[in-house]
Amino acid sequence: MPKVSYSEEERVRIREALIAAGLDLMANQGIQHTTVEQIYKKVGISRTFFYTFFPTKEDLIVETLYLQQPKILAYAQKLMDDPALSWREGVQKFLYSCCYGEKNGIAVLTVEEQQMIFRRLSPESYQTFREKQARLFGNLLECFGIKANAERISLFTNLSLAVMVICRAIPGTLPLLVPEAKEATVNFQIDMIVDCLERFKG
């Protein structure tokens, strides 16, 4: 017979397992290709029980993005500490890995996914997300040896997310852009971002 009651400690453990399973699936196969069914089956609970933790898939996605943030920061630090890479190569590799997230175990939102998720967030949840996002990008700048301030954090956030969105949007969401030039376009944008950060560093 299925278990009818869970302690608060068990519920916390199951919730954490759902977030971890969601991040693992989304990072490896993409957010759009990850279903609620895949997530709750991986944890070994029922669909009904899943929805007692997260009212929608979007609520879970936001939590997976929070879980991913320290992993992204640790990856950036690992690149900065790699003696085989110059500073520029480390930053380039970091941005490139994020652009091609699914190949590198990093969940990255498409334009459609961003719109879908943030339509459902309350103003308070949206504000929390923005604060955590700003903290992550500020920490990344510091990791790159750049003094972070509000203006630099905002610019770095927009430039980074823009190249990731472009990378994921060609050709499906942006059919007028030339798919054959996708990688060259992404590499050019990354070089421009690194040039900008290098000026801040200097």
Three-state SS at 183: helix
Nearest by Cα to 146 from 72, 85, 88, 74: 88
- Pair of tokens at residue 14: 């199951």
Q: pLDDT tens digit string along 2-30?
A: 555 788 999 999 999 999 999 999 888 87
User: What is the Cα Rg of the chain in Å?
Assistant: 19
Q: Cis link prior to 171 (omega < 30° from 0)?
A: yes
CA–CA distance, 59 with 125 (Å, rounded to integer): 10
b (16+ CB within 10 A) / e for 115-129: ebbeeeeeeeeeeeb
pTM: 0.86
- Write the DSSP string, 101-148: GGGTT-----HHHHHHHHHHS-HHHHHHHHHHHHHHHHHHHHHTT---
CA–CA distance, 6 with 90 (Å, rounded to integer): 46
Q: Output 83 or 7, whichever has higher pLDDT.
A: 83
Q: Does 200 score more than 90 pLDDT? A: yes
Mean pLDDT, rounded, for 69-73: 95
Map tokens 């890479």 to a residue. Answer: 85
Alpha carbon distances (Å) from 123 to 58, 63, 137: 15, 16, 21
102 neighbors 27 (Cβ within 8 angstroms)? yes
pLDDT of residue 116: 83
Q: pLDDT tens digit string along 87-122?
A: 999 999 999 999 998 788 888 888 888 888 888 888
pLDDT of residue 202: 67
Mean pLDDT, rounded, for 69-94: 97
Q: Cis link prior to 175 (omega < 30° from 0)?
A: no
Q: pLDDT tens digit string along 129-184?
A: 999 999 999 999 999 999 999 999 999 999 999 999 999 899 888 899 999 999 99
Q: Does 1 score more than 50 pLDDT? A: no
